[in-house]
Amino acid sequence: MNLFYNIKGQGSNLLFKIGIALIFIGLLILLLKEIIILILASIFIALGIFLITTSFRMR
């Protein structure tokens, strides 16, 4: 907690860097979440198409 009260000693540059790092970490988490959802949705769509084509081949 002393880091936040000693802004004049450390300079606001450190707090700026910490803030930018937290923003980039948040954006990275959002991006990875979207990629994981895209992969899972693609797998389910591919399985659905595979099952539909398999059912037509068995007729």
- Match 């948040």 to its residue by tokens: 26
Tell me if 19 sits within 8 A of 12, measured CB to CB. no
Residue 4 and residue 15: Cα distance in Å, rounded? 8
Q: What is the pLDDT of residue 30?
A: 95
> Structure tokens of 57?
């081949």
Residue 14 and residue 27: Cα distance in Å, rounded? 20
pTM: 0.62
Q: What is the pLDDT of residue 59?
A: 80
- Each residue's pLDDT, cut to its tens digit, for the chain (59 residues) gives 565 666 555 667 888 899 999 999 999 999 999 999 999 999 999 999 999 999 999 88
